[in-house]
Structure 1
């Protein structure tokens, strides 16, 4: 039986050399985030950029909601993959990082596809109640994941995709000795989604782990 490879930096570079190339502005965001110290961990991994690009193209996604934007890498990745008439609504409460993200969107000439809403996501769901999305990407504060997920189920189209980042939580979800509130919360969330009959779901070991749910 085959086993998953350990992805070293050298192997990661090899994969990049033989994969679809990132947009220069995506790479610019990655380089900028490297200057931010510890909070750079809030960025998605480049492997997740490739995955999001492919799944949007294959599934003919046109209308997307993002919960958690940071400096804009995931949002820009999604927008670049969307058709010209596609739309992304990006929710984030941080004004400072939103300004940075918007500058990158403009530089990549994608700002016409992206609407940013700067307030806590929980305050935006009521405003969006008449919207229906093909895909929702959740990558925000982890303690609210279940609430984001439940609200997403009200906004997603049938057979739409809900994608959730950080579900492996740095590998801590399998460490029985780790009982901090964030790890416990992620374990409980993963268990909840795995038992949810409203969706079928798969965890992909990309970045910090991504759950992809297809709404039944």
Structure 2
């Protein structure tokens, strides 16, 4: 089975289960036009985040890694009236694109607040708890992001960490790739942390062979 087949399967389910969405399409288009890397979650993965946040009843959401705001829109749409999302983005140019995309989607700073700067520095200034946390930033810091997320969580908080399979390279214990090392260190944290109940799911699709961690704070 080829990567092309995986992408076509994604397209099939997206076409069948997700309604056309000009706002989200425009967010991707404007991000690409601005030269942002094409690494946003796929539409079906965005919908998964939305469903998970809604199922958890999240009123407060934390996102680590905004990029152009595509996943941010999916998550913000899961909030009830009066809910709040805080998203952390390192690159000011990315944050600027995200602000425009979020404004077009109808989300002002009263609902979505973008914190610009190194996420670990930003996270130390935040006050939780957050009901739902999505981690999709530099992989070398995943263990630190999970540790910081746990301090901003409560019992029952859902934590999702993206891009943990690395096309299967996560298996290589001898790897020198900082992204692989970051994932493996995060797994060690999950294994040793009694406050977290976690699993990992492999995915294949438009983003290739990847996967995510789903964790629940005990």
Q: TM-score, normalised by structure 1?
A: 0.87
Task: Answer yes or no: is 1:165 the counterpart of 2:162.
Answer: yes
CA contact (8 A) 1:161 1:214 kept: yes
In the superposition, relative to structure 1, how do residues 168 and 181 fare at CA in structure 2: closer, same or farther (>3 Å)? same
Q: TM-score, normalised by structure 2?
A: 0.86
Q: Deviations over 1:11-52 (max 9, x none)?
A: 2221012213263221222334455778212x1122211111
Alignment match, 1:65: 62
Q: 1:191 aligns with which of 184, 188, 191?
A: 188
**Cα offset, 1:195, TM superposition:** 3.8
1:106-125 to structure 2, matched below 5 A, reads 106-111=103-108, 112-125=110-123
Moved more, 165-174 or 94-103: 165-174
In the superposition, relative to structure 1, how do residues 37 and 177 fare at CA in structure 2: closer, same or farther (>3 Å)? farther
Alpha-carbon separation, structure 1, partners of 2:86 and 2:36: 27
Alignment match, 2:38: 40
Question: For 1:124, what is the secondary structure of its paired residue?
Answer: helix
Q: Deviations over 1:128-152 (max 9, x none)?
A: 1x32100111111111111111111
Q: 1:24 aligns with which of 16, 22, 25?
A: 22
Moved more, 24-33 or 77-86: 24-33
* Structure 2 residue runs without a partner (length 5+): none
Question: For 1:164, what is the secondary structure of its paired residue?
Answer: strand
**Cα offset, 1:165, TM superposition:** 0.8
Q: Give the 4+ runs in structure 1 shifted more than 4 A.
A: 33-38, 175-178
**Cα offset, 1:175, TM superposition:** 4.6
* Structure 1 residue runs without a partner (length 5+): 1-5
Moved more, 176-185 or 45-54: 176-185
Question: For 1:133, what is the secondary structure of its paired residue?
Answer: coil
Alpha-carbon separation, structure 2, partners of 1:179 and 1:22: 42
CA RMSD of aligned residues (A): 2.3
**Cα offset, 1:177, TM superposition:** 6.9
CA contact (8 A) 1:91 1:117 kept: yes
In the superposition, relative to structure 1, how do residues 9 and 151 fare at CA in structure 2: closer, same or farther (>3 Å)? closer
For these two proteins, the number of residue pairs brought into alignment is 210
Question: For 2:190, what is the secondary structure of its paired residue?
Answer: helix
Q: 2:129 aligns with which of 132, 156, 163?
A: 132
Tell which has more relative contact order, 1 or 2 (C-alpha 8 A, sep 6+).
Answer: 2
